[in-house]
Amino acid sequence: MLDDTGRDQIRSEIEDIQDIFIKFGSLLSKSETAEPDLIELSALGTVLHSFYTGLEGIFLVIVKRIDVEAPTGNRWHMDLLEQIARPTDSRDAVISESTRQKLESYLAFRHFFRHSYAYILEWDEMRELIVDLRDTWDITKQEIEIFLQTTT
């Protein structure tokens, strides 16, 4: 069961992710037509990192409050993503398989970003993630909202 506190936590994370698009909107738009410089690339790396971190926050609320047990171990990030895409005895799948597959790329980038230096970032490797970011968020958010509406 997802109580009001859990719903409030999820809605707060959704607002925080929405704020990413507001605060970095001009940079995201600019990157659609021009290759970012090192500073902009670093900021875009932070955007991608923050985006996926926010999603993980939502997913953790759901699995801790409904599934009761969150994944552990050195694969817990991937296990969490897989868990949230599967139905359980207590809940429906939160996201679709196609969304899970899209989010896998964001998870991989987040892992890379956390364990590297900003000057190592390559635009060619980030471009698709940035270009698809808004659509990926829109689909993921819609699936989360449907889950919230259908979960008591």
Structural domains in the chain, sorted by start? 4-150 (1.20.120)
Q: pLDDT 10s per residue in the chain (152 long)? A: 789 999 999 999 999 999 999 999 999 999 989 999 999 999 999 999 999 999 999 999 999 999 988 999 999 999 999 999 999 999 999 999 999 999 999 999 999 998 888 889 999 999 999 999 999 999 999 999 999 999 87
Centre a 10 Å sphere on the Cβ of residue 116 and count the other Cβ atoms it contains: 11
**68: left (phi > 0), else alpha (psi -120 to 50), else beta?**
left
CB burial readout 31-60, b (16+ within 10 A) else e: beeeebeeebbbbbbebbbbbbebbbbbbb
Residue 31 CA neighbour count, 13 Å, CB half: 27
Quick one: pLDDT at residue 116?
87
Structure tokens at 109: 């980038």
DSSP code at position 118:
G
pLDDT at 117: 84
